[in-house]
Amino acid sequence: MSSKPAIGFCGLGAMGMGMATHLVKQGYPVTGFDVYPPSLNKFESAGGTPSSSLSASAKDKSFYIVMVASAMQAQPALFDEEGIVKALPKGATLILCSTVPSAYVKSVEKELVDMGRDDVFFIDAPVSGGAGRAADGTLSIMAGASSAAMEKGKWLLEEMSAPKKLFIVEGGIGAGSNMKMVHQVLAAIQILSLNEAYGFAARLGLNGKDVYDTVLGSKGWSWMFENRSQRTLKEDYFPGASAVTIILKDTSIITSMSRSVGFPATLCSVAEQVYFSALDRGWGANDDAGLVRLWTPEPVAKIESKLSAEDKEAKFQLVVNLLTGIHLVSAAESISLAKHVGIPLPQFYDLACDAAGGSTMFKEAGERMISILEGKEDGKGRVLGGYIETLKEAVSEAQAIKCPLYLGTGALNLLLQTGSGLSLAALLSCYMP
């Protein structure tokens, strides 16, 4: 018999399975529910206790974690007659780890009160880091809640997160989801950017493995590029580890929220349209690392380059320049939205630098952008000229070979809006009046 508290868990998908089995390995008795029977079997094999009903999984559980894909899935799981909330014991701690709109988690808080369950300690705690980190207990977690709820549930969040990767965001319920939303600005753009880069490289006649090696040590690096390349280079898309529908759902949260608060989420809106195109082709359940197929049917790792060494080097640089320009603008878009919705900017910077949205350009330019938005410097130094010129070269080459660069063109147009200032302050002014 374990001396550790029993935990209920709903949602044993790629991330949820990792989180739940990690807790099992740490010695917690975990009862898990999922609508997909093979997931329950897998969870049982890993030492967990499978449950065939939500209410049974919540009965007598003082701690309960929900890790479903969307608000549409969370609502009935939480509030149906045979759902989680009605079965939870008095004073239970309920943690919602799904990526959902902040407006939705606020509605959950209100519904708990309206149905007489204000005794439940509710925590808004979306996560980032992928299935591997979920299984290792090294996720980044962004949590918002009342101080009383945080006091109850912090230990459990610490069990699932890496040291120093539990970010308690001021502002209560909704603050955790808003922090995750602004982080996903980076993720949404950078997932598409790596596919765009491989597609552009393929049209230039470059082998994908060579592109990977070149980008890793360059200013074009991002966590998403390094992570997703493992699947892009192997064509591991069916079903892969992260479906297009997942990043599309996150992107749509960003664009919907942006419209509601009057914020121009320019590159995220471009990304959303491309994700819709993939959905139209029936690729929704395929891995998002396979969007490169919008540019080329040929496996990028099998392209045989016939270019001279000098031509190769010049074309590799075009690909790096494309990524660098996109990532610079994505940093501005994410940080500006964070400012717009009241997220603490230094905390966001610390989170994103070492999370799935991290990139060399975010790390290098993000700190200065935050200083500008916080009024600590004017940011008027001419620092963007080189980036504009190199991105312009990449876009011009793409135009010459009739290769679509959705994000590249969007990023260049934003940079060109900076006019003669060519400064970080001018770029941020494209987002913040």
**pLDDT tens profile 246-261:** 999 999 999 999 999 9
SS3 for 344? coil
Name which CATH class applies to 7-173. Answer: alpha beta
- Type of residue at 49: T
**What does the alpha-carbon distance between residue 358 and residue 425 come to, in Å, rounded to a whole number?**
21
Rounded Cα gap, residues 336 and 345, in angstroms: 9
- 374 by Cβ neighbours in 10 Å (0-12 / 13-18 / 19+) ranks as exposed
Domain boundaries, the chain: 7-173, 178-429
pLDDT at 377: 85
Helix, strand, coil % (nearest 5) of the chain? Answer: 60, 10, 30
pLDDT over threshold 90, residue 379: no
In sequence order, which residues have a C-beta less than 8 Å from that of residue 163 and are 6 or more positions away? none
Would the pLDDT of 21 be above 80?
yes
pLDDT at 139: 95
CA distance 292 to 244: 12
pLDDT at 385 over 70: yes
Read off the pLDDT band of 324 (50, 70, 90).
very high
User: Could you read off the pLDDT of 185-228 as tens digits, one per residue?
Assistant: 999 999 999 999 999 999 999 999 999 999 999 999 999 999 99
Q: Position of tokens 């939205």?
A: 337
pLDDT > 70: what percent of the chain?
Answer: 99
Mean pLDDT of 62-72: 96
Single pTM value for the model: 0.94
pLDDT value, residue 384: 78
Residues 225, 233: contact at Cβ < 8 Å? no
Residue 129 is predicted with a pLDDT of 86
pLDDT of residue 418: 87
DSSP string, 163-192: EEEEEE-TTSTTHHHHHHHHHHHHHHHHHH
Averaged pLDDT of the chain: 95
- Summarize pLDDT for 108-145 with one digit per residue, the tens: 999 999 999 999 999 999 999 888 899 999 999 999 99
Mean pLDDT of 378-387: 78
Q: Determine the pLDDT at residue 117.
A: 97
Q: What is the mean pLDDT of residues 65-94?
A: 97
Question: In the structure, what pLDDT confidence band is assigned to residue 1 with cuts at 50, 70 and 90?
Answer: low
Check if the beta carbon of residue 331 is closer than 8 Å to that of residue 358: no
Stretch 15-33: mean pLDDT, rounded? 97
What pLDDT score does 233 carry?
98
Averaged over 282-294, what is the pLDDT?
A: 98
Q: What CATH number matches the domain at 178-429, 1.50.10.20, 3.40.50.1860, 1.10.1040.10, 3.40.50.2300?
A: 1.10.1040.10
- CB–CB of 416/426 below 8 Å? no
Q: What is the pLDDT of residue 244?
A: 97
User: Residue 2: is its pLDDT beyond 90?
Assistant: no
pLDDT of residue 380: 75
Band (272; pLDDT cuts 50, 70, 90)? very high
Cβ proximity of 195 and 292 under 8 Å: yes
R_g of the chain computed on alpha carbons: 22
43-57 pLDDT, tens digit each: 999 999 999 899 999
Mean pLDDT of 80-106: 97
> What pLDDT score was predicted for residue 354?
87
pLDDT at 383 over 90: no
Confidence of residue 421 (pLDDT cuts 50, 70, 90): low
Q: Tell me the C-alpha distance between 352 and 190, whole Å.
A: 13
What mean pLDDT do residues 85-106 have? 97
